[in-house]
Amino acid sequence: MTNRLRLLQLSKLLDVTRLNDQDDALQMADWLQQLPQLPVPIAAYCVYPDYLPQLRQVIADARQPCALATVVNFPAGELPLTVVCQQISDALAAGATEIDCVMPYQALLRGDHQHVSQFLTEVRRCCGASCLKVIIESGELITAQQVARATEIAIDCGADFVKSSTGKVAVGITDEAARIMLTIIAAADRPVGFKASGGVRTIAQALQLIDLYEHITGITATSSTMRIGASALVSELAEQLAVD
């Protein structure tokens, strides 16, 4: 695959994310206006629930179809289930088409796998037919076995994607975590997507993750099978694609 085709492939996998706690509506509007335009539609935008209506209008005006994602049980993964279900209901009513939900990973660390399973099963029900990405926060999980078990539970509970990180902890995606998650995903008895997030800062790193995904799963990375949360890459991608 030529370099340009690989860059276009990467562009189509991007979940362009803005989850800054200090933002207000004006700052969000400025960010959206300043984002460079890529020659192909990205996979999704992901913002806090409060900014879903604003972003939905921007997407409609741009006439570039993409998914509209938001986060729930974010970032610590410790909200009560009733609160998370209300967050999901409100987000879907505001126009979200994808829900990125943090797994209650502290319960996983305590060995309470049943609580995690029950929680995520109800989250799946609340999402209905909308895309559900379960964030396992791999950087906070201590052992390879915990990363594997978190991925298994997310899949068993109906996740459409298993996502590595919130980007709010010290350790985001690592090569080891990606390999473990992808090995479990490849062995699943149904199609499950993979989202690499947290610390993807260069195009080279993102392309390596695509190669790893395709090598382990044997599936071509598309927006329905793989996502990369790496908003920092948009400007660099736009520059390189303009040159190529």
Question: Distance between CA 140 and CA 200 in Å, rounded?
Answer: 17
Catalytic residue among 12, 15, 100, 160: 100
* 66 contacts 59 by C-beta, under 8 angstroms: yes
Residues 6+ apart with CB under 8 A from 82: none
Question: Distance between CA 161 and CA 135 in Å, rounded?
Answer: 9
Catalytic residue among 163, 175, 189, 244: 163
Q: Answer whether the bond into residue 80 is a cis peptide, omega within 30°.
A: no
Residue 12 appears among annotated catalytic residues: no
* 65 contacts 41 by C-beta, under 8 angstroms: yes
Phi, psi of 184 (to 5 degrees): -70, -45
* 190 contacts 225 by C-beta, under 8 angstroms: no
One-character DSSP codes across 92-159: HHTT-SEEEEE--HHHHHTT-HHHHHHHHHHHHHHHTTSEEEEE--GGG--SHHHHHHHHHHHHHTT-
Catalytic residue among 15, 133, 160, 195: 195
Closest CA to 15 of 65, 60, 66: 66
Residue 195 appears among annotated catalytic residues: yes
Q: Which residues are catalytic?
A: 100, 163, 195
